[in-house]
Structure 1
């Protein structure tokens, strides 16, 4: 147990270091970590680190789903509920059946139930992979909404299909009609647990009004919610996503300190867990290969190519068919939904990277059936899962940047966001000016120095104009700084001077460290406001 813990700790530390190096040199960290894991597995003397399903499903998956849910837009997901539903429910089921049929005919050892188990395992694109690769490539928000919404919910569909197919494969009576009941129960239980616990957490965090404790509560929440939902036979995935979406939507009610702290904490957690998951994927090569003794290399090659090609082809066919076919059949869809660009549709179809959840499900397949016989084709099932995960990660991850460039898929989100922010800032400044006038009118004559309203109005005006200045010509184009840029540069220099003086006073013994930390926090908050972009 100590050796396993030490090995996992070493993997965790190395994964973060490799991710830091990849980010430093602007290399795709997910791909670099997978390749590093594969290469490490080839080094003699490095023991195999077998992936524990419980580690993935109960430790890695919940916080990553939670983080993705907090960052997701409930409004955007609701606006795209039809395409996301087709991707998150219909596509995993179609992939399960297609891969099951192909695997059954290419791997003699697999029964039809075992082959469908494999299909359910490789059906869902991974939430970690989609978010990590998509963020780095700067995909348009609409594409990221579809990929993110799909990856948040498709695990529930695939894992339910997996449970039904696995039950049939090991000898437990199971039918697809009972499978539908299982899925309905899992979905309803997940929504109920996620919604109720999410409401309780939101109430408690508001009542506490303590940023440190609120962030700590948010850190343990996804584990508790996932475990509770699974205990009542609900979907832990759906429960975590529902609660995260709810709390993300209500985060505007939290204090600024809680929001700043939560954002920093979850970015760090996300980096650590994503790095750990991707390196762990590559390190599974020795474990997977060790179980293939005596199996025909030709059979493995044919099956690997067939299953990987099926996974990719089914996704492309499904995405294109259910993007354009409903538009031809429904006038309402044509009138209410803008026609998607074929380039954007292809990006969604091509971004089907599998990840660590699929590997966890494969390793969770028992070695024997209820009768005591070896599980049919388990070594091939695990190997084919590994091929699909690594194959999609490397193939899609390496080619997506080139495809995006060739198809000229450019995001205008930055400019559109800037326009919306500028308009909102103008309205907010007007509301602030009106409130200032009301407050001044309520004061007794002479109770406020004349200079105070002038400073506040100037500050308010500067904030209103700054957002519009960012949309105009750059400083290089106009040959000089804008007023907002000048203000920001000078104020940052003043803050740096204050910071140095505070530190010098601490070093001289005039103030202690606690006073210094409080003073620096005030400067940090102001600097964060000045660097809000």
Structure 2
């Protein structure tokens, strides 16, 4: 590796970290600022001889960036909430992707003379899947209701599998492999079904393995390999040119293992939280900076073409992508409620403001650009497709992304009621957990703890009671008590038994739907940190 290549590898992440740090300091959405800086830097660099260029490698994006980002989002998602909202998630991640593919494909086929229909559908599949990283980041910061965040996260987890499968089928048809409609449906079913099946098998296999590991460093090192192994295992299974969906395999494994995270040791959970938070941040900032840096490379392929005509194509495709989401979403939300009584009885009526927010959260991302760069070099109109994809990605990130916070505030959408309910349910859960811990302490003392250690028993009992009381105090803005250090091995043994009793109660309350996954994670984290403190005594 020469010094120039080494400098490029250092400069890109260093620049991304610097921009992200500035954005965080100012309270701005880092993804949007990174895209803007990338655009400006790319244009400036293209005019200075000898400046390095950063061309997006689709293989790197789809193999190195996408699996860990999807896996981390899946780990942090809620299986129970995804199951509750499976209809709207499916409506967006499958139905909307295919609808957008068809709308954009037919539009560009009719609009651009000589563009083959299969190539047009490939473009439709490329720009169809929104990347909810930026939308969810803004949503969490502005306090959107959990239902909206769950739907957006669920959409981002599963829509890439739909879009990439449709993309591969369209590209196969475009290069002359003669796929019929029936064959395309069969290939789509094989890719999705194969990815799902492999994901389920690997989820149980990895779950069995992780259940038997107790060393946090070993467990989390293996966890870093899981998304890549899940992706490659599915992609290795193919029928002709069609591969099983690696994306779907990664998501299934992540959701399954995230739901079982309570089975891991406290050290594994503490380390895992930090590891994935840092890795997410690092990969995301590089991805968004790379998006902006692609402009000079894409413009280079359009030299000699009519800029006004190309601008018209780009404006039409961008408008079609944005409008298609609302055209699909509005009837998809309300018509089933009108036609099916069971849906009306089972699901609460969606608020118009929530539908508007979800409709506007259609920002595209690096997966679309990676798919465009992966198009065969000799494919007709490849340079034009790259430019149209870039405009859709940049346009949705900047236009929708920058106006998203304003729309949320304008519609008055917030999670204030949910926050209060979470605090209330957390307090009730803490009370139940403390009661279980005290009951376990009574059992242990009856099993033969010596009477002379009554001061230790009293301290343990006081600690549990203070934790339960602190949860109620948080409803009024108070802060819970810190774990107390003690050199006593007896104290550590009894307290760990009490913590395990508390965790069991919390998991049962989650499974009974009495508390949400986010409440479970928040309270479990407090218990894990206390146990980590005990381990250092």
Task: Please classify the TM superposition score into its range, dividing by the shorter chain length.
Answer: 0.7 to 0.9
Q: 1:313-462, aligned counterparts within 5 Å? A: 313-368=323-378, 375-411=379-415, 412-443=417-448, 446-462=450-466
Which residue of structure 2 aligns with residue 163 of structure 1? 168
1:82 is the counterpart of 2:83:
no
> How far did residue 9 of structure 1 move?
3.6
Contact 1:189–1:229 under 8 Å retained in 2: yes
Higher mean alpha-carbon deviation, 276-285 vs 128-137, is at: 128-137
Q: 2:155 aligns with which of 150, 154, 158?
A: 150
Q: Distance in 1 between matches of 2:166 and 2:70?
A: 20
| Superposed CA RMSD | 2.0
Q: What are the Cα deviations for residues 84-130 of structure 1, in whole angstroms up to 9, with x where unaligned?
A: 11111110111011111211233225222211111110000014334
CA distance in 2, matches of 1:22, 1:312: 27
Distance 1:277 1:51 in 2: 9
1:459-498 correspondence runs (5 A): 459-472=463-476, 474=477, 488=482
1:247 and 2:262 equivalent? no
- What is the CA-CA distance between 1:526 and the residue it aligns to? 4.2
Distance 2:79 2:262 in 1: 13
Q: Is the Cα–Cα contact under 8 Å of residues 164 and 176 in structure 1 kept in the other structure?
A: no
Shift of 1:140: 1.5
- Indicate the residue corresponding to 1:210 in structure 2: 215
Aligned residues: 481
Aligned to 1:517: none
Q: Contact conserved, 1:100 with 1:112, CA < 8 A, in 2?
A: yes
Whole-angstrom distance in 2 between the partners of 1:133 and 1:380: 31
Residues 345-354 or 159-168, more deviating: 159-168
Residues 123-132 or 348-357, more deviating:
123-132
Q: Aligned equivalents of 1:162 and 1:220: distance in 2?
A: 27
| Residue ranges of structure 1 left out of the alignment (5+ in a row) | 369-374, 475-481, 493-523
Q: Does 1:238 align with 2:239?
A: no
Q: Given the alignment, which residue of 258, 262, 279 partners 2:289?
A: 279
For 1:20 and 1:139, how far apart are their aligned partners in 2?
A: 24
- State the Cα deviation string for residues 237-258 of structure 1 (Å, max 9, x = none): 1000000111101110000000
CA distance in 1, matches of 2:399, 2:282: 24
In structure 1, how many angstroms separate the alpha carbons of the residues matched to 2:130 and 2:9?
25
Residues in 2 aligned to 1:331 and 1:111: alpha-carbon distance in whole angstroms:
43
**Aligned counterpart, 2:42:** 41
Between the aligned partners of 1:27 and 1:137, the Cα distance in structure 2 is 12
Equivalent-residue separation in structure 2 for 1:114 and 1:279 (angstroms): 28
CA distance in 1, matches of 2:178, 2:303: 32
CA distance in 2, matches of 1:20, 1:173: 50
Q: Distance in 2 between matches of 1:169 and 1:137?
A: 43
What is aligned with 2:27? 26
Q: What is the CA distance between 1:174 and its match in structure 2?
A: 1.2
Within the alignment, does 1:260 sit opposite 2:270 as a pair?
A: yes
> What is residue 16 of structure 2 aligned with on the other side?
15
Q: Distance in 1 between matches of 2:532 and 2:364?
A: 37
- Bigger mean CA deviation after superposition, 161-170 or 394-403: 161-170
Tell me how far apart the structure 2 counterparts of residues 4 and 356 of structure 1 sit (CA, whole Å).
Answer: 22
- Contact 1:198–1:246 (CA under 8 A) maintained in structure 2: yes
Q: Secondary structure at the match of 1:400?
A: helix
Instruction: Give the aligned partner of residue 512 of structure 2.
Output: none
Equivalent in the alignment of 1:120: 125
Aligned to 2:375, the other structure's residue is in SS state coil
- Counterpart of 2:201 in structure 1 is 196
Instruction: Provide the rounded CA distance (Å) in 1 between the counterparts of 2:343 and 2:244.
Output: 33
Return the alpha-carbon distance in structure 2 between the equivalents of residues 5 and 320 of structure 1: 50
Answer whether contact 2:236 2:244 (CA < 8 A) is retained: yes
Deviates more, 1:129-138 or 1:104-113: 129-138
Where do 4+ consecutive residues of structure 1 move more than 6 Å? 527-530
TM-superposed CA distance for 1:529, in Å, is 8.0
Could you tell me which runs of 5 or more consecutive residues in structure 2 were left unpaired when the two chains were aligned. Answer: 238-242, 486-527
Bigger Rg, structure 1 or 2? 1
Q: CA deviation at 1:143?
A: 0.5
Matched with 2:317 is: 307
Separation (CA, whole Å) in 2 of partners of 1:5 and 1:171: 41
In the TM superposition, residue 527 of structure 1 has moved relative to its aligned partner by 10
1:132 aligns with 2:137: yes
Contact kept? 2:169, 2:188, Cα under 8 Å: no
CA drift of 1:415 comes to 1.5
Out of 216, 225, 228, which is 1:223 matched to? 228
> Which residue of the partner structure matches residue 506 of structure 1?
none
Distance 1:132 1:234 in 2: 30
Q: Which secondary structure state, in structure 2, belongs to the residue aligned with residue 208 of structure 1?
A: coil
Q: Match of 2:301?
A: 291
CA contact (8 A) 1:65 1:127 kept: no
Structure 1: distance between partners of 2:18 and 2:186: 45
TM-score by structure 2 length?
A: 0.86
Alpha-carbon contact 1:99-1:311 (below 8 Å) kept: yes
Are the counterparts in 2 of residues 130 and 148 from structure 1 also a CA contact under 8 Å? no
Kindly indicate whether the alpha-carbon contact (under 8 Å) linking 1:187 and 1:238 is maintained by their aligned counterparts in 2: yes
